[in-house]
Amino acid sequence: MELALDILPQVLMDGIVLGFTYALIALGYTMVYGVLEFINFAHSEIFVLGAFVGVEILLLLESTGHLATLHIAFVLLLVILGGMLFSGLAAMALERVAYRPLQGSPRLVALISAIGASFFLQDALRFFESLWRNTFYLTYPTLDALDKTVPLGLNVVVPVKSLLVIATALVALAVLHLFVNRTRLGAAIRAVAQDPDTASLMGIPVNRVIALTFFVGGAMGGLAGVLFGLHYSLVNPYSGFFPGLKAFTAAVLGGIGNISGAMLGGMVLGMLEAFAGSYLSILTDGAFGAEYKDVFAFAVLIVILIFRPKGLLGERVREEGA
Amino acid sequence: MKVGLAHLGVIAYIIASSALVFAFPQSVLAFLSFEASLLVIYHASVDQTTKLCLGAIVLLVLLPVLGSVNGYYLEIAIQVGIFVALALGLNIVVGFVGLLNLGFVAFYAIGAYLWAIFGSPQANHFIPGNLFPLSSAWFFPFLLLSVGVGALTGALLGLPVLRLRGDYLAVVTLGFAEVVRALVNNFDKPINITNGPKGITPIEKPPLFFQPLLEFFGLRVDPSVLYPFYFYFIVLFIVILTVLVAQRLEESRIGRAWKAIREDEIAAASMGIPVVRMKLLGLAVGASFASAVGVLFAAKQVFINPESFTFMESIGVLAMVILGGMGSIPGAILGATGVTILNLQLLKGLSLWLNTVRQAGIVLSIPLLGDFNLSQIPAQFEPAKYERMVFGLILILMMMFRPQGVLPPRQKRGH
């Protein structure tokens, strides 16, 4: 038990970082589901794209020598905004090219197209990086300021990286919350989510709002990608699969279509995973170790869907789904 | 029977393409044109009996003969057969019942591991008595057993999730497949059941029960020569069986109930169709196909590990079904053949070609851009490494331009 208590702060920290990452990605799933009732399967690639844009900007700055001279805050701002903008635009483009032509066709058709887009984007990214850098496994350059740790009392040290993830995610979530609930555009998004036909009759340009939703969701995914990259350093075109799937689980856990639900679901799932990763092997005497933490998320997903398919905070149901 | 121009044309095509393969045993194109002969037969305007006879000649005689010229062709034919059976299974779930199952590979894995564990010394790790590997005679009983096990797991997975909406079901089945893969990957401790990432080998092959017969006729064939042909015929048998089962199901009460559910669940329910039970049945039948093919796969590969059962495989099979046309049996066959050949022959062929080009070190002069030495093309660009892109493109393009597939199911009008 001694050991179990010793690692508790670390586990909590890991859980919070993971939780915010999942929450940010989950927003993209949940917002798109809100307006289109459709799982944007390729969202995990939008997330990875953000991570790649981040690493490319940093590598570019490094090669021109600016990485050492520019102020760290400026560099981070550049990377984060770059990743968000790029991912947001990519998500919009994806909607325009792969989803909008399918509007009005059965749900399965759009979902299959999204799966195709996800696979296509993975290899497209791989192809591009192979062409550009001759490798598609990229490592974030080390930023000294981020590798420091901050003592937090009680023998707990917190890496600056983790603080960065938490702070940025908090700001982004707050801004998003205000945007959706306090602005006219946010109201338009909510209106379309509630009832696209009526929204259209009220003079809301539904297609533009859908594109906007993709942009905002994509930007949140891109932000998650950059933070993921800064925190874990290694990215490859396929690294979005598990975070994406888990974030989707988080969205369902919170109640899909529900923005606060996505945040809550992400946090709960991140915590569960961190605890499972560290304590499963202690609890089962080494029989089941951290390797089961990926499975854990899916087990959670299946259990929720059986007992509470509407999620923790409940789903806003537009029309009666069978 | 009137012999028309169409008959002559088809026969001429078959002869010409097999002659091409004989003349150029290494050529991918020649073999492709031979494979296309089945499509030609299917589409030719000749009567059903002729089609069946010609198809039988191609599959039972010509292909094995060509396989003796270049063994690789037999290997491809076996792979194609395996994927055809898988696609037929998934076609029942996705095409007939309209449930998007993204975890189809899980059932394939369950079948494969079922035979791998008991058909190799692996089971000795957790069952005392040194009884394993089971003798190869157990292969066929296990093939039957796997049908039951597959159906059971399919139904067990279906029970909790069938009440969910279609897209949730897709993600849950995907999650289920990942759970299965993680379990096989990690169940080498605390009890070693699956031997973890290292995989299981050697796995028993099917019994050569006909060897005494061959010896009776004075034929002494080395088993290593015999096995590819043997597997080919087993696969062919299973494919024919699955086609028949799928066809009979499609035309039965059950098949009509499935399609009614696919088209309109509420209407189907109000017509008195037990929706949940029918969906469960669909999942179970599809799963049992996959699981039986898994047993065959394990016996053919002799070695299996969790790497063979990734999400990629599920998507590959889905791409086959979509390409051919959801709900269409000929479509599933065509899709599986097309995608497998694309993967095994075209992409690998292009990769080989790229390699030779690279090794030749030709210098290309492009105006304005200067010289470019082809040996500098990085190995990263081998087309064989871009399977996902191919699957992705197939899915997107089909959904946009031809969601009903290349060979859509024929609508029967009037009864």
Q: Give A129 or B161, the one with higher predicted confidence.
A: A129
pLDDT given at position A318: 45
Nearest C-alpha in B relative to A116: B392
| B314 touches B103 (CB < 8 A) | yes
Q: How close, in Å, is residue B361 to chain A by CA atoms? A: 19
pLDDT in tens, A113-168: 999 999 999 999 999 988 888 888 999 988 888 888 887 766 677 888 899 999 99
Comparing A291 with B278, which gets the higher pLDDT? B278
A273-315 residue pLDDT tens: 888 888 877 777 766 777 777 777 778 777 877 787 777 877 5
Confidence of residue A77 (pLDDT cuts 50, 70, 90): very high
pLDDT band at B390 (very low <50, low <70, confident <90, very high): confident
pLDDT at residue A322 tops 50: no
Closest residue on chain B to A320 (Cα): B165
Instruction: Look at residue B414 and tell me whether its pLDDT is greater than 50.
Output: no
**Nearest-CA distance B161 → chain A (Å):** 7
Q: How far is B388 from chain A (nearest CA, A)?
A: 5
Partners of residue B376 in chain A, C-beta under 8 Å: none
Residue B264 pLDDT more than 80? yes
A contacts of B391 (beta carbons < 8 Å): 116, 119
Q: How confident is the model at residue A215 (pLDDT cuts 50, 70, 90)?
A: very high
Encoded tokens for B415: 């009864």
Residue of chain B minimizing CA distance to A113: B396
Looking at chain B, which residue has its C-alpha nearest residue A100?
A: B400
Residue A159: predicted pLDDT: 86
Residue-level pLDDT at A296: 77
Q: What is the pLDDT, as a whole number, of residue B370?
A: 66
Its sign, for the CA torsion B67, B73, B75, B81, is negative
pTM of structure:
0.88
> Does position B2 have pLDDT exceeding 70, yes or no?
no
| Per-residue model confidence as pLDDT tens digits over A18-50 | 999 999 999 999 999 988 888 899 999 999 999
pLDDT in tens, B247-262: 999 999 999 999 999 9
Q: What is the pLDDT of residue B84?
A: 95
**Residues in chain B closer than 8 A to A98 (CB atoms):** 396, 400
User: According to DSSP H, which parts of B139-210 are helical?
Assistant: 139-161, 166-186
Overall average pLDDT of the B202-225 stretch: 79
> In angstroms, rounded to a whole number, what is the distance separating the alpha carbons of residues A309 and B71?
52
What is the three-class DSSP state of B154? helix
Among the residue ranges A92-106, A156-170, B204-218, the one predicted with the least confidence is: B204-218
Comparing CB atoms, the residue among A109, A134, A297 nearest residue B399 is A109
Inter-residue contact B276 to B162 (CB < 8 Å): yes
- Which residue stretches of B191-274 are H helix? 211-216, 223-251, 253-263, 265-270
Tell me the pLDDT tens digit for each residue of B81-126. 999 999 999 999 999 999 989 899 999 999 999 999 998 888 888 8
Beta strand residue intervals within A118-239, DSSP E: 138-139, 149-151, 157-159, 234-235
A137 versus B214: the higher-pLDDT residue is A137
Smallest Cβ–Cβ distance between A116 and the set B171, B174, B392 belongs to B392
Which sign does the torsion angle of CA B283, B285, B289, B295 carry?
Answer: positive
Per the CB < 8 A criterion, the answer to whether A152 and A79 are in contact is no
**pLDDT higher than 80, residue A92:** yes
Per-residue H/E/C for A77-113: HHHHHHHHHHHHHHHHHHHHHHHHHHCCCCHHHHHHH
Q: Residue A109: pLDDT above 60?
A: yes
Q: Answer whether residue A200 shows pLDDT above 60.
A: yes
Question: Are B251 and B275 within 8 A, CB to CB?
Answer: no
Closest of B196, B146, B156, B202 to residue B176, by C-alpha: B156
B171/A39 CB distance under 8 A: yes
pLDDT exceeds 90 at position B56: no
Q: Convert the pLDDT of each residue in B4-47 to its tens digit.
A: 788 888 888 888 888 888 888 777 778 888 888 888 888 887 88
What is the structure's pLDDT at B211?
74
Predicted pLDDT of residue B58: 85
More reliable by pLDDT, B80 or A158: B80
Which residues 6+ apart lie within 8 Å of B95 measured at CB?
B321, B325, B326, B327, B328, B332, B409
Res. A321 pLDDT band, cuts 50 70 90: very low
Mean pLDDT of B185-208: 84
- List chain B residues with CB under 8 Å of A127: 381, 386, 389
Q: What is the pLDDT of residues A49-68, one digit of tens each?
A: 999 999 999 999 999 888 88
- pLDDT bin (cut points 50, 70, 90) of residue B415 is very low
Q: How much is the pLDDT for A2?
A: 57
Q: Please, are residues B95 and B328 in contact by the beta-carbon 8 Å criterion? A: yes
pLDDT at A188 over 80: yes
Rg over alpha carbons for chain B, rounded to the nearest Å, is: 23
Residue B286: pLDDT above 90? yes
Strands B363-366 and B370-373: antiparallel
Mean pLDDT, residues B344-372 taken together: 74
Residues of B in contact with A269 (CB under 8 A): none
- Mean pLDDT, all residues of chain A: 87
Q: Which residues of A touch B184 (CB under 8 A)?
A: none
Question: What tens digit of pLDDT does each residue of B298-352 get?
Answer: 999 889 999 889 888 898 999 999 999 999 999 999 999 888 888 877 787 788 8
Which are the contacts of A38, defined by CB distance < 8 A and separation ≥ 6? A32, A99, A107, A110, A111, A114, B167
- The reported pLDDT for the residue numbered A132 is 84
